Chains A and B, each alone.
Chain A
Amino acid sequence: MTRVWLPSSLEELWPLWAENPGAALYAGGTDLLVRRRAGLVRPEALICLERVAELGRIEPDGPEVFLGAAASFSRLLSSPLVTEKYPVLAAALQRIGSPQVRHMGTLGGNLVTASPAGDSLPPLYTLDAVVELVAVGATRRVPIAEFIQGPGQVDLRPGELVSGVRLPATDGNLQHFEKVGSRAALAISIASLAVAGRLSDQGEVLQIKLAWGSVGPTVVCAPAAEAALQGKKLTPETLAAAGELAQQAASPIDDLRASREYRLALVKNLLLRLAP
C-alpha cells in the first residue's frame, strides 16, 4: 500500500513533505501514475497537490496573469483569462489527451515532466512565460526557457515546487497553434508549432515568436527564422524561407510515431499555414 497525502494548503504541505522526504509530489497523476505502473518510479508515498488552494489559482496579477500549477487543463480552458488573452495556449491545451486527461492534467505536471512533446510548452515559450517556484520561505521566478533544461530536466531545487506560471500582458494580434498527432485525440505530438506576435495593419510582422514541439530534445526556437520574418508579410515565400532556417535549428529523431525526415518537413510546413 502506498500512502497518499492530500494537503489543502502549502502550510499543511511543507511539514508533511519534510516528514516524508521519500514522497513524490503529483497533481493530476497523468504522468506519474503511468510511470509508476511501468515500474519506472517507486515512490514510498505520494503527496497530492490537487487540493492545495494556492496552486489552483487562476487570476490577474497587475498586468500579468497567474495560472496555478495544479489547476487542471479543463479549469484553465474554462477561464476567459486563458481563452481570451492567450488563445495560443488555449488551443494547445484543447489538444491535450482527451477530456478525461484534461480534467486531471496540469501545467505544473506538464512543465516538470518536460517532455519534448509537452503541448503546453511551445505556447508558454512564445508568451515569454515565467515559472514561479516556491520553497519554505522562498520564491523564485525563472523564465521558461531557463527552467526547462532538457528532456525531463528542469531547474527545480530540492524542497521546491512549481506554484504556477506568470504570463505577461500581450498586445499581439497573432496567435496560432497547431499540433500534428497520430489521431484527432489521445495522441502524443509528432510535431507542433506555436506562434505569438503582432502584425501591422498592412500585415507586416512587427514582432513574432515561434516555438516548435517534438522536433528536438526540448522546445525548438529559431531566432534566425523570427528575424527573417521581421518587417515582412507572411507569404508562402517568406514563410518557406523562415521554415528552412527553422529546419536548421531543429534536431528531430526517428521514433515509432514518425521519422526524422517527416518531422523536419513539418517544421517548415506548419509555418506555411500562416499564409493567408
Chain B
Amino acid sequence: MLQNHSMKTPEIFQARYGARAARVGSSLPRADALAKVTGREPYACDFYHPDMLWLGVKRAGVPHARLRGIDVAAARELSGVAAVLTHDDVQGSNRQGVVRKDQPVLVDDKVRHAGDAVALVLAMDPASLARALELIRLDLDPLPGVFDLDQALAPGAPLVHGDNPQGNLMLAGQVTIGQGLDALDDCAVVVQEVFRLPRQEHAYLETEAGWALWDPDGGLTITASTQTPFRDMAEVAEALGLERDQVRIKAPYPGGAFGGKDGVSVQSLLGLAALAAPGVPVKIWLDRQESFIASPKRHPARLAYRLGAGQDGTLQALHAVLHYDTGPYDHLGGVVATLGLEHSGGAYVIPHVHLETYAVYTNNPVGGAFRGFGVPQVNAAMEGMMERLAGRLGMDPAKLRQKNILRPGSLTPVGVTLDCSVGLADCLEQAAGHRLWTRRRPWKAAAGPHQRRGVGLALALHGMGYGPVVPDVANAKIELSDQGRLVVYCGVVDMGQGNASTYLQVAGHLLNQDLAHLELVLPDTARTLPSGSSSASRTTFTYGRALLAAAGELKVRLLKRAADMLMVPVEEMTLVPGAVRHLTSGRELSLKDLAGFMAGEERVAVHSFRAPVSPQRPSDDPGLTLHGLPHRIFSFGAQLCGVEVDRLTGRVRVLSLVTFCDVGNVINRQVLEQQVQGGAAQGLGYALWERMRSREGRIIENDLSTYIIPTAGDLPDMELVVVPGFEPEGPFGMKGAGELPTDLPAAAVAAAVADACGAAPNRFPITPQVVLELLHQGAARNLA
C-alpha cells in the first residue's frame, strides 16, 4: 500500500554499467546517478497517498517572547482540519538537541527565535491547512532580544536560556601552547585583523520533508530527509515519550543536506502528528521560505587575529579570538566552535598560541552544521593573515607558506602531533609549480580594459570524524540474498556525496562482483545497523572500514561453503561475478544456488568499526574534549584562484580555480571530483555572494531571489590535482574529502581579490561594493 523505497540499481544503469567490475580505483559513475537525474529516485518529499493528511507548522514569527497561551479553537472547528496540536499534546520531554537538549519540539514556555514551532495542524488538503494555520492565535508576551554578539555578551543582557550558568555563552574554550600571548611581544612583525563571516544557508534542492505512520500495534515509522536516522530515533522517542523500539526511521537519499539535516528538523513534528492520527499517513514538506526560517545555518562569525613572525617569515605566535553566533539553540554550535578552534591556526606550525573560542546564544536564526563545520570561517581568517604577513614582509605568499606548513610529525597549532598521512607539502609544491601561479604575471598583464586580475593561493586542513570522546562507530552488514546478489545494508546516509555507491564499489572489489550482482539497502533503523551520522567527512572512512571487514568475513564463508559442496580444497576456489569457481576444474556454483544451501544467518556478515582517536589532550578543559578536540586524521589541500575584477562595477569573476588535495588514496576519481566541485561552488558562493542577514532576529534575504547562490554562469571551470597519498588507517588508504573543498574558496578568492585590488578584504561575502572600496584603498596605497 505505502510506497516502497526501491533499493535496486535502476535497470538502465544496470544495462549500461552492470557488467563493469566494481573495483576500487575505477572511476565508475555513481549507482544513484541515473535514477536521480531521470527523476525516478523517490525522495522523502515524493510520498503521496489518497488518505494522507497534510501537516503544517505555526511558527512564532517573533524572535523572543514568553508564551502565555495558544487559541486553537477556531482552527479546530474549520472543516478539513483533522487535528490541532500544541505542547500539551507532547507526552515526552518535549526537548531535542544533539549535545544539549535545549530545543523544544513545540514551544511550551518561551519563544527563542522567529522560526520556533508553536503549534501543528493536520488537515485533509493544503488549502485547509493554510487557513487553519492563519486562524491559530498566539498569545505572546514580547521580550527584549539579543541580536548580535556584543549585545548578547554585555552585562545584564536578556538571557536566551535563563538556566544556562554562563548566561548567553553557550560554550567557551581556550587553548594555550608554548608561551601563548607573551610570545607576540618577541615577534619581529605582528599583523592583526578582525574578520567577519556571514550566515550561510544550505539551500538544498529538497526542503525539509517526510511522512509518518503510527500503527498502534507496530509502532511509529518516520520516513524523512535526514542525515542522522539512528540519532533521530533516540531523540524522537525521548521527546515524544516513546520507547526507542517503537520508533523506526527510514532515510531515503536526501535531495541535498550539507549538514542542514544533521539533527531533527521535521521528524518529531511528524511523529507527534502521526500519533494523533493512528493508521493514517501524515506528510510535511516545508516550502522554501519556511525552510529558510526554520533550518540551521552556517554560523556567522567574528574572528579577531594577531599573528607574529620572525623577519624571515617563520611563524612564532598567534592570538585568535573566535566568536560564533549560534542562535538560540546548541544544535551543534559547541562542536562547530571547537572544530573552529582546532583549525584556527590553519595548516601551519606555530609554536606559541593562545586561542579562544566562544559560541554565543542569540535570538537569531539557529546556527548548526554546514559542510566545513566552523572551518571555512577560520580558514578565511588564518589565510588572510598569511596574505597580510606576506605583504608586510614582502615575501612570496607560496614561499612564506612553504616555510611554515605542517609536515608528517609536526605539531599542529593546538600542539598535537600529526599522526596521519600528511601530503600538504606536495599540494603546495604542485600549486606553486602550476602555470596559473608561475605564469601569473603575464596572465595578470593580459587583463582587458577596466579589468584587474589577481591570483590567490590558500591552504587548508580538515579533521575527520567525531574526535576523542563521542564514539565514531559504524556497523556494516552485508548479505548474500536468496537471489544470489550481495546486499550492502548501508546504515549511514548518502546525502549526495556518493558514499553509498562507494560502498558497492568497496564490496564489489573485495568480492570480485560487478554492479549487476550488488544491491544497496538505504538507512532504515529496522533493517540496517547504527553507523553514525552522515557528517564530519567520515562516511566512507568509518563505514568503509567496517564494510571491508564484514565483506572479508562473508567472502571466507562463501568460499568455504562452496568448497565443501564441491568437495575441493578452499584454496582452489575463487569468487567471480555471480558465482564461485573452482579454479582447477572450472566448475562453478552460482551465488544463487549457493545461497539456497545456506541458512539465513550464515549468509549475513556484520562488523563494527570504531575510528581511531588521538590520545593527546591539548586542553584540560573537558568541555573541549567532549566537543571533539583533537582529531586524529586530517585531509589537506591547496587552492589557486584566478579572478578578474571590474574596476567600474567591482564585479568579481572567478576565471579559474584549481584544487590540490591530499585525501589519501582515491577510490573513485569521479565521485571525488564531484565532491570537490560541489564544495568549491558552495565555497565560492560563501566568498562572493551568499549572506543571510537578519534584522531583529528576522531573516532579510528570505527567499532564493534575494539570497544569491551562484548559478552555472558564475562558476569557473575547475581543475583538480590529487597528490598521491595513502592513509594506513583508511579503507584502501583513503581519507575523507567531503568538507575540505568548502574550506578553501573564501580564502583563495580573498587572496586573489587582494592581489587584484592592492588591498585585502576582511568582510565576506566580498560584494562589488566592497571591491570598489578595496580598489580605492589599493590606489591610495599606491600613491602613498
A180 and B651 contact, Cβ closer than 8 Å, known pairs A187-B708, A188-B705, A262-B768: yes
Query: A265, B772: Cβ atoms under 8 Å?
Result: yes
**Contact residues of A between 130 and 175, Cβ < 8 Å to B:** none
Q: Which of A84-92, A221-229, A268-276 contacts B (4 or more CB under 8 A)?
A: A268-276
Give Cα A257 to B769, complex, Å: 10
Chain B 648-681 interface 0/1 with A at a Cβ cutoff of 8 Å (1 = within):
1111000000000000000000000000000000
Q: Is the CB of B708 within 8 A of A270?
A: no
**Closest Cβ neighbor of B700 among chain A residues:** A256
Interface residues on A, range: 20 to 34
Q: Does A259 contact B (CB under 8 A)?
A: yes
**Residue contact A258 to B769, C-beta cutoff 8 Å:** yes
Residues of B within 8 A of A256 (CB): 693, 700-701, 706
A265 CA to B648 CA, complexed, in Å: 9
Q: Is A183 an interface residue (CB 8 A)?
A: yes
The prevalent SS among residues of A at the interface is loop
Q: Is B649 in contact with A269, judged by CB distance below 8 angstroms?
A: yes
Report the minimal beta-carbon distance from A165 to chain B, rounded to whole angstroms: 27
A266 an interface residue at 8 Å Cβ cutoff?
yes
CB <8 Å contact, B772 and A262: yes
**Within 8 Å of chain B (Cβ to Cβ): is A4?**
no
For B758-784 the 0/1 string (1 means CB < 8 A from A) is 000000000011001000000000000
Partner of A273, one of B648, B711, B714, B769: B648
Q: Which residues of A contact B649 (CB under 8 A)?
A: 180, 266, 269-270
A270 to B711, CA, bound (A): 24
Q: Which residues of chain A are near B714, meaning CB under 8 Å?
A: 183-184
Mark B293-306 against chain A: 1 for CB-CB distance below 8 A, else 0. Answer: 00000000000000
Known pairs A262-B769, A266-B649; A183 contacts B701 (CB<8 A): no
Residues of A within 8 A of B710 (CB): 183
List of A residues within 8 angstroms of B769 by Cβ: 258-259, 261-262
In the complex, whether A185 has a CB less than 8 A from a CB of chain B is yes
Q: What string of 1s and 0s marks CB contacts (under 8 Å) between B529-546 and chain A?
A: 000000000000000000
B689 within 8 Å of A (CB atoms): yes
| A183 near B768: Cβ-Cβ < 8 Å | no
B-side contacts of A259, CB under 8 Å? 769
Q: How far is the CA of A183 from the CA of B701 in the complex (A)?
A: 15
In the complex, chain A residues whose CB is within 8 Å of the CB of B439: none
Total interface residues in chain B, CB < 8 Å: 20
The interface residues of chain A lying within 8 Å CB-to-CB of B651 are 180
Mark contacts of B23-58 with chain A using CB atoms, 8 A cut-off: 1 yes-contact digit, 0 otherwise: 000000000000000000000000000000000000
B713 touching A272, Cβ below 8 Å: no
Q: Is A182 an interface residue (CB 8 A)?
A: yes
User: What residues of A have a CB within 8 angstroms of the CB of B689 in the complex?
Assistant: 182-183
| Residues of chain A contacted by B708 (CB below 8 angstroms) | 182-183, 187
B450 CB within 8 Å of chain A: yes
The answer to whether the Cβ of A53 comes within 8 Å of any Cβ in the partner chain is no
CB pair B711 A183 closer than 8 Å: yes
* Chain A minimum-CB-distance residue to B685: A183
Name the B residues within 8 Å of A270 (CB-CB). Answer: 648-649
CB-defined contacts of A206 to chain B, threshold 8 Å: none
Q: Which residues of A contact B713 (CB under 8 A)?
A: 183-185
Cβ-defined partner of A272 (8 Å) among B648, B650, B711, B772:
B648
Q: Which residues of A contact B706 (CB under 8 A)?
A: 256-257
What's the least CB distance linking B618 to chain A, in Å? 42
The complex places the Cα of A182 from the Cα of B767 at a distance, in Å, of: 9
Smallest CB gap from B706: residue in A = A256
Q: In the complex, which residue of chain B has the Cβ closest to the Cβ of A185?
A: B713
In the complex, the answer to whether A186 meets B711 with C-beta atoms within 8 Å is yes
Query: B713 — nearest CB in chain A belongs to which residue?
Result: A184
Report B432-466 CB contacts with A as 1/0, cut-off 8 Å: 00000000000000000110000000000000000
Are B648 and A185 in contact, CB atoms less than 8 angstroms apart? Answer: no
Report the minimum CB–CB distance from A7 to chain B (whole Å): 29
Docked Cα-Cα span, A273 to B649, in Å, equals: 10
Check B711 against A185 for contact (C-beta < 8 Å).
Answer: yes
- Beta-carbon contact of A272 and B450 below 8 Å: yes
The interface bits of chain B over 696-710 (1 if a CB of A lies within 8 angstroms of the residue's CB, else 0) are 000011000110101
Q: Which residues of B contact A275 (CB under 8 A)?
A: 449
- In chain B, residues 733-773, which have Cβ atoms closer than 8 Å to a Cβ of chain A? 768-769, 772
- Minimum CB–CB distance from A117 to chain B (whole Å) comes to 12
Chain B 193-219, CB within 8 Å of chain A: the 1/0 string? 000000000000000000000000000
- Provide the bound-state CA to CA distance between A214 and B649, in Å: 15
A113 to chain B, nearest CB (A): 15
Output the nearest chain B residue to A275 by Cβ-Cβ distance.
B449
Q: How far is the CB of B694 from chain A (nearest CB, A)?
A: 12
Complex: chain B residue closest to A178, CB-CB: B649
Contact A184 B772 (CB under 8 A): no
Residues of B contacting A188 in the complex (Cβ-Cβ under 8 angstroms): 705
A180 and B768 contacting across the interface, CB-CB below 8 Å: yes
Q: Give residues of chain A (230-273) contacting chain B, Cβ–Cβ below 8 Å.
A: 256-259, 261-262, 265-266, 269-270, 272-273
The residue in chain A whose Cβ has the minimal distance to the Cβ of B653 is A184
A141 and B165 CA atoms in complex are apart in Å by 73
A216 to chain B, nearest CB (A): 18
Docked Cα-Cα span, A216 to B500, in Å, equals 53
C-alpha spacing A221/B647, complex, angstroms:
24
Cα–Cα distance between A185 and B712 once the two chains are bound (Å)? 9
Best-buried of A183, A185, A188 by chain B (most CB within 10 Å) = A183
Write out the residue numbers on chain A whose beta carbons fall within 8 Å of the beta carbon of B768: 180, 258, 262
Closest CB-CB distance, B200 to chain A, in whole Å?
Answer: 16
Please give me the residue from chain A that is nearest to B772 by CB atom: A265
Residues of A within 8 A of B693 (CB): 256
In the complex, A152→B693 CA distance in Å? 28
A273 contacts across to B, CB distance below 8 A: 450, 648
Residue of A nearest to B650 (CB): A262
Are A184 and B711 in touch, CB under 8 angstroms? Answer: yes
**In contact, A269 and B711 (Cβ under 8 angstroms):** no
Shortest Cβ distance from B688 into A: residue:
A183
CA distance A183 to B651 in the complex (A): 9
- CA distance in complex: A185, B708 (Å): 11
Enumerate B496-551 residues with CB–CB distance to A below 8 Å: none
CA A186 to CA B693, docked complex, whole Å: 20
Q: Which residue of B lies closest to A262 (CB)?
A: B769
- Cα(A185)–Cα(B709), bound, Å: 11
With known contacts A184-B711, A259-B769, A269–B648 Cβ distance under 8 A: yes
Contacts of A272 on B, CB cut-off 8 Å? Answer: 450, 648
Across the interface, name the chain B residue whose C-beta is closest to A263: B769
Residues in chain A near residue B701, CB distance under 8 A: 256
Q: Which of chain B's residues has its CB closest to A261's CB?
A: B769
Residues of B within 8 A of A186 (CB): 705, 711
B772: chain A residues at CB < 8 Å are: 262, 265
A177 to nearest B CB, angstroms?
Answer: 14
- Which chain A residues lie closer than 8 Å to B450 at the CB level? 272-273
Residues of B within 8 A of A261 (CB): 769
A interface footprint on B705-735 (CB within 8 Å = 1, 0 otherwise):
1101011011000000000000000000000
- With a CB–CB cut-off of 8 A, which chain A residues contact B449? 275
**Chain A nearest CB, measured from B708 CB (Å):** 5
**Complex Cα gap A188–B141 (Å):** 39
Cα separation A275 to B448 with both chains bound (whole Å): 13
Q: How far is B710's CA from A258's CA once the two chains are assembled, in angstroms? A: 17
A258 closest partner in B (C-beta): B769
A249 vs B701: C-alpha distance when bound (angstroms): 30
25 pairs of residues in contact across A and B, judged by CB atoms under 8 Å = A98-B711, A182-B708, A183-B689, A183-B708, A183-B713, A183-B714, A184-B711, A184-B713, A185-B713, A186-B711, A256-B700, A256-B701, A258-B769, A259-B769, A262-B650, A262-B768, A262-B769, A265-B772, A266-B648, A266-B649, A269-B648, A270-B649, A272-B648, A273-B450, A275-B449
B residues bordering A, Cβ < 8 Å?
A: 449-450, 648-651, 689, 693, 700-701, 705-706, 708, 710-711, 713-714, 768-769, 772
Known: A257-B706, A259-B769. 9 other contacts (CB 8 A): A180-B768, A183-B713, A185-B711, A185-B713, A187-B708, A256-B701, A258-B768, A262-B769, A265-B772
- The 3 A-B residue pairs with the shortest CB-CB distance, nearest first, are A184-B713, A269-B648, A262-B769
